[in-house]
Structure 1
Amino acid sequence: MKRGLVAAFVIVLAVCSTARGADTPKITESKLVQRTQELFDAVAPGNQAPWKMYVAEDAMFFDEKGRSMDKAALLEDLQPLPAGYSGTIRVMRAKSRFATNVAVLSYDCDEVETVFGRELHARYYTTDTWLYRNQAWQIVASQTLRYYEDPAAGAVSDAMLNDYAGAYELAAGNVVTVTRQGSELYAQRNSGKPYQLLPESPDLFFRAGVEGRRLFHRDASGHVDMMIDRRNNEDLLWKKIR
């Protein structure tokens, strides 16, 4: 009798395990990439069909501009590109993680937008969380970050470089010294390590790999009187003291 009960119990466990496995069909990384590419292929023509299919009704989307959108807002934002515009987004370098009914897919997006024949390039990093429920795998959360790209370096005459050299003070004891070294400009904060300021255009500079700009302000007579450290549209004003 005991042997019969044990055997029956084992059979029940096996059946239950099989049933649970059947409840959540397996999805692979390649399938997720395929579906994700379908979504991006639908962006340029403004085709909402795959987005309606693969995005959950209660999904949360956070784009590279910092906007938070639900599914309704996402679909409203998905409109055909205007005349003269075209573009492609390719899913690259995907990585995935899986649990029972959850799949996480992270990948790069390589975007090429053509505006009246001129190509514009951008790279993004996206992480999507897919959840299996109601007999379907759908995205419930997505977050996109944009890779930072330095602006194109410009040129400034040697004579203008002399205008920027000097000491700039933010507060007492907090000074940045700007020096010219040949045809290059360097800044050093107090006794810190010097770093190069690269020209984007006259009076406008940037640091390689660092977001923000350094804008040299001129007074009414055309002399540099301030260095503006602009970050995320907010300014730190460094007054020229010598």
Structure 2
Amino acid sequence: MKLLAIFIILACGSNLGSAAERDAAITENELIRRTQELYDAVVPGDQAPWKKYFADDSIFADEKGRTMDKPKLIADITPLPAGYSGAIKLERVQSRIYDNVAILSYDANETETIFGQNLSARYHITDTWLRRDGNWQIVASQAHRYYEDPAVGKADPKKFPDFIGSYELASGQTRTVVADGDSLFVERNGKKEQLFPETSELFFRKGIEGRILFRYDKDGKVDALIDRRNNEDVIWRKVANK
């Protein structure tokens, strides 16, 4: 009888241990629920979920290039100003869940209304969750913003003759600007790309970060094409017509 009692106790203890382990596990749906809870707290500036789900030693890198520890992250969670509203929703979620580590990677689609004007932005975020003493918290989070082309403005074809011509970066490295009706193009090494106007003198190529602008000299003539990338300029000097 004693042996039977010991066996029953051991079996019950084993079942309790298994139940505790199951309770400590986490699912993709639970990660999504917690993450959505975080973003639902952004608009009202509710810091409680961020304090709860981010570990004290967490690292947070946002889409602006800032890297923050938990105190700085929490301090950054403040209510939107009066006249502002919005929401952030998760989409295209992927997860990898292991014994004590879970990774959640997803798109965060943001909509914002500023005094009746609607804005939107898309981010991709990857969170790393770690289980410590049965408690799952984020230890690292990194976000980047998807590039979006600016709105197409109105070109001024009367200015195209100023822009048309060849531009040289270095010996043997040239690109040519040509016009076709009301559209402007840049050609290099047989590749032709349309320059879409943001303003009459500021252009962009679809799907490519940066801007193309034309520099005027003191005499009012275009002397360079500027390829502006992340606020840094690559200057192509205009080649005089022969």
TM-score of the pair, normalised by structure 1 = 0.89
Q: Does 1:217 align with 2:193?
A: no
Query: Is 1:89 matched with 2:88?
Result: yes
Q: CA deviation at 1:22?
A: 3.0
Identity within the alignment, %: 54
Q: What is the Cα deviation at residue 173 of structure 1?
A: 1.5
Aligned to 1:129: 128
1:158 to partner: Cα distance? 1.8
Give the match for residue 22 of structure 1: 20
Query: Which 10-residue stretch deviates more, 27-36 or 213-222?
Result: 213-222
Distance 1:21 1:163, change over 3 A: farther
Give the CA RMSD over aligned residues: 2.2
Q: How far apart are residue 156 of structure 1 and its match?
A: 1.0
Contiguous gaps of at least 5 residues in structure 2: 1-6
Cα deviation for residue 181 of structure 1 reads: 1.6
Residues 186-210 of structure 1, C-alpha deviations (whole Å, 9 max, x = no match): 1122x24111111110110011100
Aligned to 2:101: 102
Query: 1:237: which partner in 2?
Result: 235
Give a deviation string over 1:23-45, Cα, whole Å, max 9, x none: 46221111111111110011111
SS in 2 for 1:210: coil
TM-fit CA distance, 1:113 = 1.3
Quick one: distance in 2 between partners of 1:82 and 1:222?
45
Letter in 2 for 1:238: W
Q: 2 CA distance for matches of 1:228 and 1:17?
A: 70
Deviation of 1:219 after TM superposition, in Å, equals 2.0
Unaligned runs of 5+ in 1: 1-7
TM-score normalized with structure 2 length: 0.89
The answer to whether 1:32 aligns with 2:31 is yes
Aligned CA distance change for structure 1 residues 84 and 58 (closer, same or farther; 3 Å): same
Q: Which residue is equivalent to 1:4?
A: none
Amino acid at match of 2:26: I
Q: Give the Cα–Cα distance (whole angstroms) in 1 for the partners of residues 73 and 14 of structure 2.
A: 39
Superposition pairs for residues 74-223 of structure 1, below 5 Å?
74-189=73-188, 191-223=189-221
CA-to-aligned-CA distance 1:82-109 (integer Å, 9 cap, x gap): 1221111111121111100111111111
In 2: Cα distance, 1:148 partner to 1:21 partner: 46
Q: Which amino acid aligns with 2:107?
A: D
One-letter identity of the residue aligned with 1:215: L
**Cα distance between partner residues in 2 of 1:72 and 1:112:** 26
For residues 144 and 186 of structure 1, the distance between their equivalents in structure 2, rounded to whole angstroms, comes to: 34
Matched, 1:45 2:44: yes
| Aligned residue pairs, count | 233
Residues 171 and 220 of structure 1, relative CA distance in 2, 3 Å threshold: same
Most deviating of 53-62 and 160-169 = 160-169
Letter paired with 1:210: I
